[in-house]
Structure 1
């Protein structure tokens, strides 16, 4: 029998403490080579997604539970924004006072349909928030871009009623969660009613009731579907869609009004047959009286608000919500004096019942100090009935009043050009000035050339010679002229294209900008950006951004002084021609620029400087609903020089006083 080999006994290992196996994530992945080691497996990816979603869900639940709905209308109850004259007295208080809450029973169904079609067509079915809209707006703000909408009606109502108006990612975050809670707490009808009562419609109107009165002079219950569509379009931004607002507003308003009506057809809240009945744009009623912003007050507030928005980023909606104290540069006495000057000239010299050419005449004017302070404006007869601000709206050709900038560019950049330089009859620039005419030789034949002395540039400006300034612009370079005009303060976007008519004044700057630019001529070539607000507070806290603009050099002092002396000659000539000037004692340091009878523009201008104040006055004809200006021929009768005498008379009555006018 064969025995099995005897195996040696294994030694028993000594007992060792039990070790717990560590949980190890297999990453980088064992057993994989090259780049595959660094690619997670599908199990790892799935686990990561589940873990991430679980964490987000937990965080969402915690935040949702911790966010409370603030007291309703705490922000909406804030006091109005108060504007003050330069002397500290109150100009006007506007804001939350112009709100009249109404129930949905007093709001036509057509208003609801138009607003939902315009702002949030899924309003009745959505959870009250738009995650994509929030993300898009937050990303835009984080990246430094413009603030964006994209919010639901519920979110907009939350912003209007419960939150501050700051544009920040934090505010958007709160808005999202409060909107979710509010959507679960309130009925959709209740939210819509609150939204319609707290939304901003422009013209000082908060809520649909105030808006109906502001635009159509009727209560909200009387709005028809066409009017409702226009008011709904204003929710996108009243500053851009008020038909009587700035340049391009009317076109934008018509386009969006039509789109909202068409959109209602698409989503089934209006039939095609009903849509076909609304083809005529529902122009707002000019007789509507929305707020206390009548007369010149509305124009003053408009100019102040534009400056505030430029310096702080606040919107009209923020300002009308209230709580601000705005201190302006406006001089109460001068504003009243300017308004009376315009009214007196219109009543004395224009008769629209007698002459059809006197119809649709508009006037704009602005007074600016050398430091840029806007002291007074005349924006139109009444800010309630005529919303476009004639003092601060580009679109009116400036004509020969632009020629001083051409002359200044020539003196600044033209080598050897002086006020005594001029052009001969062959269009050649003679820099050394006039020279004696050379008489024809005795017995000279018919081909003999008669040489005439050139007209000095100083006289060409006084006579407003189009031929001289066309040649001067050509020789100096239109780009140089444009650069000097911009340096003097004219907005580049208001300047016309650089063609042969550019030196003759085809550009369309505002009266405020023209007055400010002319201060450079009387201030040794220095000028400052026009400003209208000196300070601003909210709840006692100072709002930053209202430091006084620093003076900047627009041209050499010698150039400015030469042009200013020439403008003084022009002023004496024009005032003497009009026969309304009171004498030399009233015009110390007077200088002025103006359009002339040679201009073929559809406007008349006069810009004058005296007593440390530069005032620009413009007159033009603008029929409502007509994009092009009407002609000035025949305005005020055959002896008005295409209306050119009237801006001069207005300036005379305002700047030199009653003694000079009589």
Structure 2
């Protein structure tokens, strides 16, 4: 008989859940873990917590990484990398927002407060002040839509949809500024408007950052039409013109409202840089301007702002009118300013836009009395020897001249033409006039450089104090080629120079000429005629190159500026050029002997017998068949070159010199020596024989 409590236990076991009854079988099945009782599970959890509590806490920034070895220890985890990136991005965004909130749009520049640029004579007296702002604001409604579209297509095609800035353009410019390289374009129209209206033109990182924030602010607060109107009224178009209205008058003599789409495309082209795209500034500019004009018209078709049918109507280049100098630059003043501005651009990196903005004080090398003396010498010979009313051959005659101090290369005087206001091209500093026989001394020097001792020097019968009617020097031991070249230079014979050029090598002749100061881009093709002067150096460069024969083989670089300041800060890059060795002193002495004989036989001794300084000269003669006449005369004080030629604005090539001044003028070659002599006797002070320097070996 079972006891009551045992019966209750059996009943309880019989009523147990099937899962509980099957639990022992499950625990015995292979591959399955027996279920832990709740007590064991809690014990295990308490064990893990205890072990975790005993572990040291990881730092917030796990670097170098714990538990890693080698390179992995020093490789940041992706959590650390992403966290730092988010932190940096958030901080940068916060800083950007804070700066943007604090930026206020300043007042526009007051154009009336701009200062002029003042040019001074060598003695410190004031020559001229230029740079008054030439601008007349117009409403956007007064600018044809075709002009607006041309500017937008050329400068910022997505102007109406962008945020006002080009981050890529700013970043590129900032990197280039830091690296000291030339900045590149890429600014939006809004950025350019902000720079023109509120900021300076300096290329610095600080200015670029200001430009970024102001451009965003302006783009958010001003309508695009207002920005475009401001940009068109403040942009620099060259020719001293700020704004589209002044540019329309400067290039076409009409108001902006009358510009046609073709003319508007050209004005949009010069926005890229008038120094490079104003077609009146040389054949290279002409080609660049035409190429960009075509591109802008095509660009409008590509962007949908002009139909292909309308584009097809504009096939002829819209030739602008010649530039006009302000009346303050009449006479020779405009030519002097032109030479100075070119020098500042090449040496100091100053742009035409910088100069037009004003504020510069520029001290030049020009001597007022010598400029006047050179102009008077030219006009005197023209009045006495040319008669354009009676001789058609005397019409369209041009003269260019330059006088350089032999010792240091300072340009003391130029004659660029009759009047800078009426005749825009600077005849003293333009290429295009063949040097002819005036180039022969460089061929002679190059040949001598290939021989020992410069081919030996002719006898001292060619000394500077020789009588003007003394016999030709008899060379003492020179080579046969030197004798031929010496005679050929004096007698204007081409044959020995053509032969010598072939023998010496035209490349060596060219290299020596460039070493004396002639520009590489004025050199002609290396053909047999190269040796007889097909190259076209300017009067300034040829006068500078002849100093090498006077200075015993050392050439001086022509310069026109002694110093310049802006806002009391000196402009860098204007240090006086140092003389450079162009040829040996022996070569210079040998060529000088022939050049002195040319001088005496051409112009004779000075009228003032006290002033019997030695002089060197190269010239063209009756055997030259080129359309130019040259005379380059040098003394220990001044090297002066004079060129005469004929040209018409609508004729691309030079006109013939045959018959200029009558049948006895040797194709006009008789006149440059007369100009040189009249100028030199006025500009060079008299010296006693004891003061006259003698030639040195």
The equivalent of 2:417 in structure 1 is 380
Distance change (3 Å), C-alpha of 1:143 and 1:629: farther
The equivalent of 2:26 in structure 1 is none
Contact preservation (8 Å) 1:341, 1:650: yes
The equivalent of 2:260 in structure 1 is 224
Where 1:286 maps in the other structure, the secondary structure is coil
Q: Which residues in structure 2 correspond to 1:304-343 (within 5 Å)?
A: 304-343=340-379
Q: Which residues in structure 2 correspond to 1:360-439 (within 5 Å)?
A: 360-370=396-406, 371-415=408-452, 417-418=455-456, 432=477
| CA deviations over 1:567-614 (Å, ceiling 9, x no partner) | 1211232336xxx99686776423211122323333222111247111
Distance change (3 Å), C-alpha of 1:605 and 1:262: same
TM-score by length of 2: 0.79
Where 1:244 maps in the other structure, the secondary structure is helix
Where 2:549 maps in the other structure, the secondary structure is coil
The equivalent of 2:192 in structure 1 is 156
Where 1:391 maps in the other structure, the secondary structure is helix
Q: Which deviates more, 70-79 or 226-235?
A: 70-79
The equivalent of 1:597 in structure 2 is 622
Whose Rg is larger? 2
Aligned equivalents of 2:75, 2:410: Cα separation in 1: 67
Aligned equivalents of 1:234, 1:155: Cα separation in 2: 18
How far 1:368 sits from its partner (Å)? Answer: 0.5
Which residue, 622, 637, 640 being the options, matches 1:612?
637
Where 1:327 maps in the other structure, the secondary structure is strand
Which residue, 537, 543, 558 being the options, matches 1:515?
543
The equivalent of 2:281 in structure 1 is 245
Distance change (3 Å), C-alpha of 1:262 and 1:648: farther
Distance change (3 Å), C-alpha of 1:28 and 1:121: same
Q: Which residues in structure 2 correspond to 1:471-620 (within 5 Å)?
A: 471-575=499-603, 588-610=613-635, 612-620=637-645
TM-score by length of 1: 0.83
Where 1:550 maps in the other structure, the secondary structure is coil
Aligned equivalents of 2:365, 2:291: Cα separation in 1: 38
CA RMSD of aligned residues (A): 3.8
| CA deviations over 1:131-176 (Å, ceiling 9, x no partner) | 1211222223333332211111121122222222222222222211
| CA deviations over 1:443-475 (Å, ceiling 9, x no partner) | xxxxxxxxxx99543322111221112223334
The equivalent of 2:491 in structure 1 is 463
How far 1:369 sits from its partner (Å)? Answer: 0.3
Contact preservation (8 Å) 1:216, 1:288: no
Aligned equivalents of 2:482, 2:578: Cα separation in 1: 41
Aligned equivalents of 2:153, 2:448: Cα separation in 1: 60
Q: Which residues in structure 2 correspond to 1:126-165 (within 5 Å)?
A: 126-165=162-201
How far 1:433 sits from its partner (Å)? Answer: 5.3
The equivalent of 1:168 in structure 2 is 204
Aligned equivalents of 2:328, 2:304: Cα separation in 1: 40
Contact preservation (8 Å) 1:113, 1:264: yes
Aligned equivalents of 1:345, 1:558: Cα separation in 2: 37
Q: Which deviates more, 283-292 or 175-184?
A: 283-292
Aligned equivalents of 1:15, 1:558: Cα separation in 2: 98
Contact preservation (8 Å) 2:550, 2:588: yes
Aligned equivalents of 1:336, 1:101: Cα separation in 2: 40
Contact preservation (8 Å) 1:404, 1:563: yes
Where 1:546 maps in the other structure, the secondary structure is coil
The equivalent of 1:438 in structure 2 is none
Aligned equivalents of 1:658, 1:55: Cα separation in 2: 71
Distance change (3 Å), C-alpha of 1:621 and 1:268: farther
Contact preservation (8 Å) 1:86, 1:328: yes
Q: Which deviates more, 43-52 or 368-377?
A: 43-52
Higher share in helix = 2
How far 1:75 sits from its partner (Å)? Answer: 7.6
Distance change (3 Å), C-alpha of 1:333 and 1:222: farther
Aligned equivalents of 2:621, 2:430: Cα separation in 1: 22
Where 1:303 maps in the other structure, the secondary structure is helix
Where 1:377 maps in the other structure, the secondary structure is strand
Aligned equivalents of 1:478, 1:15: Cα separation in 2: 93
For structure 1, the 5+ residue unaligned runs are: 2-6, 422-429, 436-452
Distance change (3 Å), C-alpha of 1:93 and 1:109: farther
The equivalent of 2:219 in structure 1 is 183
- Equivalenced residue count is 625
